[in-house]
Structure 1
Amino acid sequence: MRILIAPDKFAGTMTAAEAASAIADGWRRAREDDATAELPLADGGPGFLDVLEAALPGAARRTVDARDPLGRPVTADYLRDGDTAYVESAATCGLHLLTAAERDPRRTTTYGLGQVLAAAVEAGAKRVVVGLGGSATNDAGAGMLTVLGYTCRDLAGEAIPYGGAALASCTSIDGLPRTRGVEFVAATDVDSPLLGPHGATYMFGPQKGAQESDLPFLESALTNFAEIAERDLGPAGASGWPGAGAAGGLGLALFLLGGHRASGAKLTCEAVGLDAAVAEADLVITGEGSFDAQSLRGKLAAEVAAAAASHDKPCLVLAGKSDLDEHPELAGVHSVAGLLGSVGEAMRAPVEGLRALAESVARDWR
């Protein structure tokens, strides 16, 4: 059999390339005669640039001095391919840049992302594709907008502080964008709106360090900012557009800059030639750290499953943990936590656990 292995990263434990290698190793333990092909993927979150760099031989990395979610110095790369610059938002405002104790979306900012975007614009890019995912922020891109020419002001006319909590005090936004007519593309890993139960705060805030008691206030702050932003910058209704809630509301900020949304998963899958690779395979395997309801809202696993279904090829998901036992387009969903008995055991040795899961599934596959 020809096995195509096309996973996303396993957040916090493995890159997509490491996950693909672990699955391939485990599969060959059980079925040494099968041919495995590894195709690491990304959906806009961490690993976005790595996947695109491998797929775009003419692209070159450029490094920018910027700030992390708490304002500390950090270096971040963007990828330049012709007139297009590819930026990974997680490089400056990613959750992985903070310790567990530092995670607090009331304080974290997207200012550093603005610095990278400004550098790409000043270097002459005509199109900037921003991969959104894995963020530690919930500030609707207000910090980013500050770097790009806007000032968010309070009732006294003073610039508001950075962070998601400060959005509650915003009463006006003024300024002119220093973006030189660049086309912005929000490459999102989810299609969530800004507000509501599937929005930035309630769906993703807890994983960024927000306490249950913080959520109503953060939602109220985002609501206030969205109303002011749509009034002063437009377009009206942008906060309800699919993807506006991606990366703590960075999707909305890019819409305010005249940008539009593209599926990060679809963009990277097209760049690496997923469709052609699926056509050559007998079985497709994808995976991610946590396979759950969010996975069905524009994330990588759903894109791979759809590609497999379009060619009438079976597709399996191997995940670290899973809240979904099945999906109409999947031949099976398996998890390391299910194999080993708990999430704790799965996290203890994640690479070997994923190898063992792949071996177990391979032995039973018919």
Structure 2
Amino acid sequence: MQVLICPDKFAGTLTAPEAAAAVAAGWRDRAPADELVELPLSDGGPGFVDALAGPTGGRRIAVPTVDPLGRPVGGEILLVDGPAGRTAYVESAQACGLHLLTPTERDPKHTTSYGLGVLLLAAVEHGARRVVVGLGGSATNDAGAGMLTALGTAVLDVAGYALPYGGAALAGAHSLDGVPRLRGVELVAATDVDNPLTGLHGASNVYGPQKGADRADVLLLDAALERFAGVLVAGLPGCPAEVAAWPGAGAAGGIGAALLALGGRCESGIDLVTGLIGLPAALDAADLVISGEGSFDHQSLRGKVVAGVAGAARDRGLPCVVIAGQVATGRREASAAGVTEAYALVDHFGGETGGGLEQALARPADGLRQIAARLAGQWSR
């Protein structure tokens, strides 16, 4: 039996490769003769570079950068040479990720995307003609203003002074100064978030609370991003007049809007990753698919990794089993998306009242291994 194992990360506990390895180990415990194919995935968020590095054969270059609060942190770019020239893959979460901050440090009024600009500059300096930026898992809500500053385009107030970092300061944005040092590279935003920059479904309203914003902060940030959108339109030649309303503009706290304003375009992160790593061919050869993520909920069914995998499996008539830290999706919705069965680590460890949540967070690899072994007993020939 050939089993395809293609999970996303389990946010805060396991990377996608670690999750895939745990599932594979559990399956081998029970059915060692089966053929297992591990293809860890990402939709553009944390783990984007890890998912692409092996299958593309690209070269990883370490790049010192800064985190959302301006502290030194290690990043990297992935360089892949092809017939059309060199492509660089950059993961925004390495510099802007929510996982880089403690819960008490999370405040999107002050966090910055400056570190992502440092990674983009490194990609340009290494000769990339195309830069694909994985967006997701960010702690920022500054619409890429920090990124633009690192690229050489400062955001100024009405008196001509540079604004401090963070989304809140953009309420005073008046103009841009300087030309982005991109040397004409093609920009692609890899994301499966279709939110606009502002409004009820915008970056601040939808994602601000999980980054530390209260209701007053959300209103302040949304108004600040609306003002900054006007500055982008006026200050960057070729910026779409309605950039704030474009799907994907709200990705990663509005970094999507800045990339669109620079002439970039949005592409589906999961489609891009699956195409590069050869997921379609692996699905064609599989008998069973196992995917997973930290929380399998309603957001999972809107273009996330699990939805992409399950839909592709369904189209081929393949069973798809999901293992997640928690499952908050109904059977009917999951089945319609192509999910045959879904299992939660929390339930495996005894439910939340029985300490299951604590155990799921403390021993996710053990739980994945144990559930996978049980699945092997049920599914293996």
Instruction: Say whether 1:321 aligns with 2:320.
Output: no
Please state how far the C-alpha of 1:232 moved relative to its aligned partner: 3.2
Alignment of 1:167-206 (within 5 A): 167-206=170-209
Partner of 2:363: 349
| Inter-CA distance 216–268: structure 2 relative to 1 (3 Å threshold) | same
Counterpart CA distance in 1 for 2:247 and 2:315 is 24
For residues 103-132 of structure 1, what are the alpha-carbon distances to aligned partners after superposition, in whole Å with 9 as ceiling and x for unaligned?
111111011111111121123211111111
Measured in 2, the distance between the counterparts of 1:279 and 1:239 equals 40
* 1:337 lines up with 2:346 in the alignment: yes
**What is the CA distance between 1:362 and its match in structure 2?**
4.3
Indicate whether 1:87 and 2:90 are aligned: yes
Question: TM-score when scaled to structure 1?
Answer: 0.94
- CA separation of 1:214/1:362 partners in 2, compared to 1, >3 Å: closer, same or farther? farther
**More displaced, 234-243 or 338-347?**
338-347
Q: Distance in 1 between matches of 2:92 and 2:306?
A: 21
Give the Cα separation in 1 of the matches to 2:204 and 2:2.
42
8 Å CA contact 1:153, 1:173 repeated in 2: yes
Moved more, 88-97 or 351-360: 351-360
Corresponding residue number in structure 1 for 2:268: 263
Alignment of 1:70-219 (within 5 A): 70-82=69-81, 83-219=86-222
Instruction: Assess, with a 3 A threshold, how the Cα gap between structure 1 residues 171 and 16 changes in structure 2: closer, same or farther.
Output: same
Shift of 1:31: 4.3
Q: CA deviation at 1:361?
A: 4.1
SS at match of 2:208: helix
Instruction: Give distance in 1, aligned partners of 2:347 and 2:74.
Output: 38
Residue type matched to 2:205 in 1?
Answer: Y
Q: CA deviation at 1:363?
A: 4.4
Aligned identity (percent) is 56
Quick one: distance in 2 between partners of 1:123 and 1:284?
38
| Contact 1:325–1:333 (CA under 8 A) maintained in structure 2 | no
Structure 2, unpaired ranges of 5+: none
**1:176: Cα distance to partner?**
2.0
- The residue type paired with residue 204 of structure 2 is T
| Residue 283 (structure 1) aligned to one of 285, 288, 311 | 288
Question: Among 313, 322, 327, which residue is 1:308 paired with?
Answer: 313
RMSD: 1.8
Code of the aligned partner of 1:335:
A
Give distance in 2, aligned partners of 1:245 and 1:290. Answer: 22
Quick one: structure 1 residues 123 and 35, their matched pair in 2 at CA, closer, same or farther if it must change by over 3 Å?
Answer: closer
SS at structure 2 position matched to 1:4: strand
Deviates more, 1:95-104 or 1:33-42: 33-42
Q: Which amino acid aligns with 2:373?
A: E
